[in-house]
Structure 1
Amino acid sequence: MTADELCALIFEVAEKTPEIGVLEESRKWGEQSFTPVRRNIGSSVRIQPRGNGDVALMFICHTNLVDEFRTLYPDMLSYEGNRAIVLSGEEANDRAALSHCIGLALTYKLRKRQRTRPT
């Protein structure tokens, strides 16, 4: 998957998930970064092209997002520490699993509030 294809997938996930709403695109640490415009909805996701043709989908390391993804998709995606899903430019990537992970990241803060809300 290329960086452009990943960018298109991020916008597709946001468009199909009403809770996310419109995304703000910016540059953080020299990487394309995507965050919901509405505050306190989700965590940012960044695209980091690699010199070997791979592309990393980067997440804020102090969240538990990559651990959550690893639990849901232990063998379907490749991970790098607690920061990234690494997509090979040469191999087929599981688009459904990747879309789900992007949606989880872009609704991270909303889901966290819902889990801690008293019933």
Structure 2
Amino acid sequence: MHSKTKKIRFENNSVAEVFSRYPESIREKLLYLRQLILDTASKLEGVGDLEETLKWGEPSYLTPETKSGSTIRIHSVKGSPDEYAIYFNCQTTLVDGFRKKFPTKFRFGGNRSIIFRIKDKVPVKELEDCISAALTYHQKKS
């Protein structure tokens, strides 16, 4: 069976509704990022359960149980129908750190996002590293 036929479970109907409104090509990519975020969080010590909600109308992932991390959002790139991004809090040093660690692996949007084109192959290991850093951001600060 194709993974596309797999039923995606959403705890939050508002989040499911937002995903349903994305064009199929972007939705597929964002669902992949969503799964990567959820899988990465499940492997990390001290992160706890993620909350999937909407922030600014965009799917967002928080660590309310442990407050270990900084919010991660995923969304299409406004005005660019073939681009999507993973967004990080611009008040953090996360994207600056990613830029130093992976200068040629990603395209960055200022100090707040990693941008992908639909045709891009996602560097999974490096992106997992970035997601892990965001989900444990506050653990490292204390």
Answer whether TM exceeds 0.5 for this pair: yes
| Higher RCO structure, 1 or 2 (CA under 8 Å, sep 6+) | 1
* C-alpha deviation, 1:53, in angstroms: 2.3
Q: Does residue 59 in structure 1 map to residue 88 in structure 2? A: yes
- Structure 1 SS opposite 2:52: strand
**Structure with more helix by fraction:** 2
Total equivalences in the alignment:
113
Kept in 1: contact 2:52–2:60 (CA 8 A): yes
Q: 3-state DSSP class of the match of 1:53? A: strand
Q: State the match for 1:29 in structure 2.
A: 56
Shift of 1:19: 2.0
Give the partner amino acid of 1:86: I
TM-score where L is the length of structure 2:
0.76
Structure of larger gyration radius: 2
Aligned to 1:44: 71
- TM (norm. structure 1) is 0.90
Q: Secondary structure at the match of 1:69?
A: helix
Task: List per-residue Cα deviations over 1:51-89 (Å, max 9, x = no partner).
Answer: 422211011111000001001100011100001011221
Q: Percent identity?
A: 35
Q: Which runs of 4+ in 1 moved over 3 A?
A: none
Distance in 2 between residues matched to 1:75 and 1:45, nearest whole Å:
22
- Give ranges in structure 1 of 5+ residues lacking alignment: 114-119
Contact 2:85-2:114 within 8 A present in 1 as well = yes
